[in-house]
Structure 1
Amino acid sequence: MRIEQLQHIIEINNKKSISEAAKTFFMGQPQLSHSVKNLEDELGYKIFRRNRIGMIPTCQGKEVISMAREIINSIEVLKSLSSGEANLTGNFSLILAPGVFNSFGGLLIARFHEKYPNVNLALTEDIGISIVDKVAAGACLMGVTVWNSNYDETMRKLLDQLDIAYEEIIQDDLCLIIGTHHPLAAKETISLTDIEGMTIVDYRGRYRNLLRNCGIDIAKNEFLIVSNREVMKIIIAKNQAIAVFPRFFFYNDLFFEKGLLNYRTIEKVTDENKMKMHLIYSKTEPLSYSAKQLKKILIDTIVDNCN
């Protein structure tokens, strides 16, 4: 029995798929299958069985995986005490909302790799409820998602039902995003009536209801639906449309740094509607020592760059 085999079965349990778990370890599916079979042969019983949703642990497999997590976590702590945190190893998957990914993904990877060069960190991007679903299914270790303060109670109830822990990282304003030469750029504060009749970029068709809830009469606006944030920013920078977006989605953004885009507060909306960024992870499995370090670096990276 090798430490790598314990890491293998933990990741297969997380991903519910040998092929997906193999990607984490940069190895082929046959090689990973062979590793698991050798461990099963050594133990004398099956660790996994296959059903319609993927690889599911047997009753004995659940016990093995639980013990494997404890062993790996203990080894991580011992390594941090004996030879320094830089020698910690592991494989983590983190899924971020699009704006979070663009604003903080690069900073997070750089900061985490500097401190833990031997830990593999895989970052992916997704939206809304899909992030929640993947964390609930064990497809990723943690996720960072964003919701409006009006949906606080609904989201918290949903996460509680799914046994998902949630920690608020930061909250920020909903602002008007405009090009430098847009007619509204001359105003410091925007009213709801200023926005009426304007062409609005709606990212993936997800912001129309949000605008309606903010008191904007969307019947008077034309909408451009885009599925790419870079395209959205180009349209706005060319003064062809505006957008209402959380301000923290544009931190560390070249369009803003070069003065091609600006944001303005919106009367009532800025004060009464906040966008909240949350870190989510499963309650059913305790976070390992390395995972706790990832969590701390993630939160510190976002908070430090938003202040």
Structure 2
Amino acid sequence: MRIEQLQHIIEINNKRSISEAAKTFFMGQPQLSHSMKNLEDELGYKIFRRNRAGLIPTCQGKEVVGLAREIINNMEELKSLASGKANLTGNLSLTLAPGVFNSYASCLITGFNGKYPNINLMITEDIDTAIIEKVATGTCLMGVTVWTSNYDETMRRLLDGSDIAYEEIIQDDLSLIVGNQHPLADKEIIRLSDLEGMTFVDYCGRYRNLLRICGINTTKSQFLIVYNREVMKMIIAKNQGIALFPRFFFYNDLFFEQGLLNYRTIEKGKDEIKMKMYLIYSRTKPLSHSARQLKKMLTETIVGNYS
């Protein structure tokens, strides 16, 4: 049994195809088939069987693939310990939801590059559905998505169906975002009745229904729909409207640092809605040692700055 044979069966499991897996290793299909058959002969049982979806692991094969992933991960960790953190190399890709990108991308890039200068970290921004698709197709390694608690079950089913692992990083109540001269700026706690008749800045038209779910009467309110967060913040800073957002979207934000925008707590509505932030990555491909370091730094950065 050789390390490369373990890498071969992991990739066959990921691709569900010997021919597709062979492309990863720049080898021919017969050569990869021979490698897998030799391992099966050595173990004394079949690792894969074929069905309409392609090659899938047998019951014993699932255990073999799982153990193979652990061995490969441990090998990478041993190499990193021997070479030192600064000598870790490779390419990592991370896609963040827009609010998360604005708040944390810069500190993640500088922090990770300072600790692991030889790893090329690429961070991009995209909407939640696109992030899920990118992780599912392997276009990016990891992603950070955000959704409201009332969609939690739906989103978890979607991720489970796409073989995507998810870990909750943080959750937050919705807070009122107001300018420093707005009539509500002097109130520490905002009652739902205080919001009736107010002008709301609705980012991408997503929040009107959310306000109703929270128990806020919107029949007399005006809604300014914007598609750019900076425009949204400028309108609120000029005291021409207010918005509901979680606080974690505005870490490292100049509008708040300069006192132009402020948070205010809203009393609990009839249905308590929270915003949840999740880290997602493929269940079928093991995270490398460097990827696990990025995962750790990302979680520590977001949780540490929130608390």
TM bin (shorter chain): 0.7 to 0.9
Partner of 1:233: 233
Give aligned-pair identity as a percent.
69
AA paired with 2:192?
L
State the distance in 2 between where 1:74 and 1:203 align: 45
Give the 3 Å change call, closer, same or farther, for CA 217–72 of structure 1 in structure 2: same
Partner of 1:213: 213
State the distance in 2 between where 1:90 and 1:73 align: 15
1:78 Cα deviation after fit:
4.1
Q: Please say if residues 201 and 241 of structure 2, whose CA atoms lie closer than 8 Å, have aligned partners that are also in contact.
A: yes
1:76 Cα deviation after fit:
3.9
Q: State the TM-score, normalizing by the size of structure 1.
A: 0.76
Q: Please say if residues 73 and 286 of structure 2, whose CA atoms lie closer than 8 Å, have aligned partners that are also in contact.
A: no
State the distance in 1 between where 2:70 and 2:216 align: 52
State the distance in 2 between where 1:198 and 1:46 align: 69
1:77 Cα deviation after fit:
2.7
Give the 3 Å change call, closer, same or farther, for CA 257–46 of structure 1 in structure 2: farther
Partner of 1:88: 88
Partner of 2:165: 165
How many pairs are equivalent?
A: 258
Structure 2, unaligned runs of 5 or more: 1-6, 16-21, 32-53, 56-64
Partner of 1:23: none
State the distance in 2 between where 1:180 and 1:240 align: 11
Partner of 1:32: none
Structure 1, unaligned runs of 5 or more: 1-5, 15-35, 48-57, 60-65
Q: Please say if residues 233 and 255 of structure 1, whose CA atoms lie closer than 8 Å, have aligned partners that are also in contact.
A: yes
Q: Please say if residues 175 and 270 of structure 1, whose CA atoms lie closer than 8 Å, have aligned partners that are also in contact.
A: no
Alignment partner of 1:128 is 2:128:
yes
Partner of 2:181: 181
Q: Please say if residues 79 and 85 of structure 1, whose CA atoms lie closer than 8 Å, have aligned partners that are also in contact.
A: no
1:94 Cα deviation after fit:
0.6
State the distance in 1 between where 2:204 and 2:285 align: 33
Structure 2 matches for 1:1-307, cutoff 5 A? 40=26, 43-44=27-28, 76-269=76-269, 272-307=272-307
AA paired with 1:203?
Y
Q: Deviations over 1:36-85 (max 9, x none)?
A: 99x74xx34599xxxxxxxxxx98xxxxxx9xx99985774343122201
1:249 Cα deviation after fit:
0.8
State the distance in 1 between where 2:71 and 2:88 align: 14
AA paired with 1:259?
G
AA paired with 2:138?
G
Q: State the TM-score, normalizing by the size of structure 2.
A: 0.76
Q: Please say if residues 176 and 245 of structure 1, whose CA atoms lie closer than 8 Å, have aligned partners that are also in contact.
A: yes
AA paired with 2:221?
N
AA paired with 1:135?
V
1:148 Cα deviation after fit:
1.4
Q: Please say if residues 202 and 225 of structure 1, whose CA atoms lie closer than 8 Å, have aligned partners that are also in contact.
A: yes
